[in-house]
């Protein structure tokens, strides 16, 4: 298995992004094995241009510079009492591995814990109204009471309120940055970042010393949503950063929730449009979010008042379909294949199971058990 040092070296190969690097991890187990691979085989596995990049990388000064870069990053992690967690390590968040372009590295101040998988992202405008501030505090306080980890981007406005409210209510919070974790932005949140690192984590895919740049923020947003079971958007203009995060979350097959706002308020325009188009679920109370995610949050939520499945009357076909499901989303085509039923028959019975509150439909014709 590639070490973090080897992966840091590889990350400096021209044209080798996260997706292609993940493909290489499935084919090779070490840097030496990769570099000893004949050009013809490497060309087939990657591409002619990337195979040539590997050859050039070993021949010129790039390799020595990459080694120096890896040593500098590991040294900085030690000095900052931080960590560099690669995608090959056991403490890399499993939920983040499921997104298409999962980052190869997480540079971390603080700790990532197993229960952080029970998390919600809260994002929104940098200049919230009083209504937005109040809603953010109320929702975050309720989620915190249940032990849900709050994830946001440490920006002004909604992000900052979400982080501070989580800390004030004794729950973990994770801040995802668009630069190095030693380059806090905005500067006013330096002390907040320190507090977050003590009671959660400050993380980034960008190496130590990276200055936050505007083009890094959309990349950062995919990690915010990728670490979360769902994303709550509180006030966002059309085209705002929060809208980008919501759009990415939908692409990642994550739930998106929006706080409705006044039709005359520009800062609520994005939320209202997402709700109107059916792309996001209306969230008027924290329970609206919790009910949608109950099957995923069940281990940390209070027992449901629903009847055990044994007490729910199911037909032969309903039972067959129910038994083919789990708490992990399953596509309708897979259900039909498992049960050897037609798609139309599966749909009819799934609808009946939904009415009985034992199955829930998710985006993309995916279904899960709720009991």
Q: pLDDT for 332-365, tens place per residue?
A: 999 999 999 999 999 999 999 988 888 888 877 8
By CB atoms closer than 10 A (0-12, 13-18, 19+), residue 303 is exposed
225-247 pLDDT per residue, tens: 999 999 999 999 998 999 999 99
- For residues 80 and 254, what is the distance between their CA atoms, to the nearest angstrom? 33
Contact 297, 229 (CB under 8 A): yes
* Cα first-last separation, the chain: 38
pLDDT on residue 302: 55
What is the average pLDDT across 178-188?
Answer: 96
What is the residue-averaged pLDDT of the chain? 91
Q: Which CATH architecture does the domain made up of 114-298 adopt?
A: 3-Layer(aba) Sandwich (3.40)
Out of 1.20.120.450, 3.30.365.10, 1.10.10.10, 1.20.1300.10, select the CATH number for domain 309-369: 1.10.10.10
- For residues 286 and 141, what is the distance between their CA atoms, to the nearest angstrom? 9
Ranking 116-130, 248-262, 272-286, 302-316 by mean pLDDT, the lowest is 302-316
Residues with Cβ within 8 Å of 52's Cβ and at least 6 positions away in sequence, in order, are none
List residues bridging with 68 in a β-sheet.
none
109-122 pLDDT per residue, tens: 999 999 999 999 99
What DSSP letter does each residue of 277-291 carry, written as one string? Answer: TTSSEE-SSHHHHHH
pLDDT on residue 305: 42
pTM of the full structure: 0.82
Residue 306 confidence (pLDDT) above 50: no
Check residue 116 and report its DSSP letter: G
Considering 10-14, 246-250, 367-371, the range whose residues carry the highest mean pLDDT is: 246-250
């Amino acid at each position: 298995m590639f070490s973090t040092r080897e992966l840091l070296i590889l990350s400096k190969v021209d044209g080798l992004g996260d997706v292609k690097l993940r493909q290489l991890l499935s084919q090779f187990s070490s840097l030496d094995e990769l570099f000893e691979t004949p050009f013809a085989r490497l060309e087939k596995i990657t591409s002619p241009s990337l195979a040539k990049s590997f050859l050039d990388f070993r021949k010129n000064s790039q390799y020595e510079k990459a080694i120096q870069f890896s040593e500098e990053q590991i040294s900085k992690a030690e000095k900052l009492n931080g960590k560099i967690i690669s995608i090959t390590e056991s403490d890399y968040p499993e939920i983040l591995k499921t997104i298409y372009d999962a980052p190869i590295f997480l540079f971390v101040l603080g700790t990532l814990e197993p229960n952080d998988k029970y998390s919600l992202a809260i994002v929104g405008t940098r200049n919230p109204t009083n209504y937005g501030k109040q809603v953010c505090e109320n929702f975050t306080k309720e989620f915190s009471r249940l032990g849900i980890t709050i994830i946001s981007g440490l920006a002004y406005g909604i992000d900052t309120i979400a982080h501070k409210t989580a800390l004030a209510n004794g729950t973990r919070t994770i801040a995802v940055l668009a630069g190095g974790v030693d380059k806090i932005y905005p500067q006013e949140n330096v002390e907040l970042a320190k507090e977050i690192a003590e009671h959660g984590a400050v993380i980034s895919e960008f190496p130590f010393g990276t200055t936050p740049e505007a083009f890094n923020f959309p990349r950062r947003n995919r990690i915010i949503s990728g670490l979360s079971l769902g994303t709550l958007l509180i006030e966002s203009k059309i085209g705002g950063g929060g809208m980008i995060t919501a759009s990415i979350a939908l692409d990642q097959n994550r739930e998106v929730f929006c706080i409705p706002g006044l039709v005359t308020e520009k800062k609520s325009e994005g939320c209202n449009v997402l709700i109107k188009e059916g792309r996001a679920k209306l969230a008027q109370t924290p329970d609206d979010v919790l009910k949608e995610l109950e099957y995923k949050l069940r281990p940390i939520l209070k027992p449901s008042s629903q009847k055990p499945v044994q007490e729910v009357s199911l037909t032969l076909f309903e039972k067959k379909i129910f038994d083919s499901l789990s708490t992990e989303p399953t596509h309708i085509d897979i259900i039909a294949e498992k049960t050897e039923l037609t798609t139309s028959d599966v749909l009819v019975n799934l609808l009946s199971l939904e009415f009985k509150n034992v199955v829930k439909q998710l985006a993309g014709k995916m279904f899960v058990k709720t009991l």
